[in-house]
Amino acid sequence: MRVLKVLLTTAASAVLTTASADAASLLVFKLGNGASTIGSLSQLYLNGGAIRENEAAAQSLSNSSLDYRNATFLDTPANWATVQRVDVQLYNRGTLMRTISFSPGSSYSNFFTQSNVIGGDYPNLATANVNFFSIPGDANYNRNFFINQNYGGCGNDAGYLVVLGVGGAACSWESDRYSTANRAFLYSRNSGPQNWNDERIGQADVFAISVNVPGVATPAPTALALFGLGALALGLRRR
C-alpha cells in the first residue's frame, strides 16, 4: 500500500504542475473569407458584440463561411488582464499558414502594435520600417489589421499583412483577390515584407485571434491525466 500511495501522489503532482505551468489557447475572434457579416472588419473586432458566440461551427478554423466573436471574454476588461500572449493567425483550409505573436498590452483594442510584437514568422518585424501597423489600418481603403512597409503607387506597395473588406480595391492587388464575399486576407510568404502585386503573395481563408490564458493545462497523456485526477480525488477524500 505504501508503494501505491507514492505512485498516486506522484501522478497527481504531475498533473497539477502541468496545469499551473502552462496556458491554454482561447479563440476570441475569427473572420472567414466567405462570411456574410456586414460592416468594417476592424469594427467587427473592436465593437462587434457577440457573433455566433455559442456556435461550435463558427469556432472551427477550417470553416471559412462563419465569423465569430467571443464578446463574453473580449468585453470584460478583467478577462484581458489574465492574457499572457496574443496570437494573430492565418489559416487556409484548416492549415496554419502564418502567426504573429504579441504581448497583450492593456486591452484587446491596443495590443496590435509594433512595440508589442514578441515573435512569429517575421523575425525582424519588431524593428522593421513600416508606414501602417494598426487594427483600423488604412481606413480610406478598408485595409484592416494592416502591417505595411511602404506605399509608392499600387505597383510598389509592399507589406506583411492586410485584411481587406468591402469598399477598398483601390489597387488591382486588392480587387484581383477578393472572395465572393468581398473579403481578402493577404500575407507575405517571405520572412520579411513582400510586394502586394507578387503572384506568390499568400491568401488565407480564415483570419483568427487567439489568446493564451493561464490555468488550463496542455493535454497530458489521457491515461496519466485520468490517473492523476483520480489520485487527487482519492487524496482529498482521505484528508
Tens digits of per-residue pLDDT, 107-138? Answer: 999 999 999 999 999 999 999 999 999 999 99
pLDDT at 144: 96
The predicted-structure confidence for 149-188, as pLDDT tens digits, reads as follows 999 999 999 999 999 987 667 899 998 888 777 899 999 9
232 pLDDT exceeds 70? no
What is the percentage of the chain residues whose pLDDT exceeds 70?
Answer: 79
With pLDDT > 90 as the criterion, what percentage of the chain qualifies? Answer: 70
What pLDDT score was predicted for residue 170? Answer: 84
pLDDT at position 6: 28
Where exactly are the structural domains of the chain?
Answer: 1-22+217-239, 23-216
Is the model's pTM score more than 0.75? Answer: yes
State the DSSP string of the chain. -HHHHHHHHHHHHHHHHHHHH-EEEEEEEEEETT----S-HHHHHHH---BSTT-TGGG-TT--S--EE-HHHHT-HHHHTT--EEEEEEEETTEEEEEEEE--TTSTTT--SGGGEEEES-TTGGGS--SEEESS-BGGGTEEEEEEEE-SSGGG-EEEEEEE-TT---SHHHHTT--TTS-EEEE-SSSS-EETT-TT-EEESEEEEEEEEES-PPPPPHHHHHHHHHHHHHHHHH-
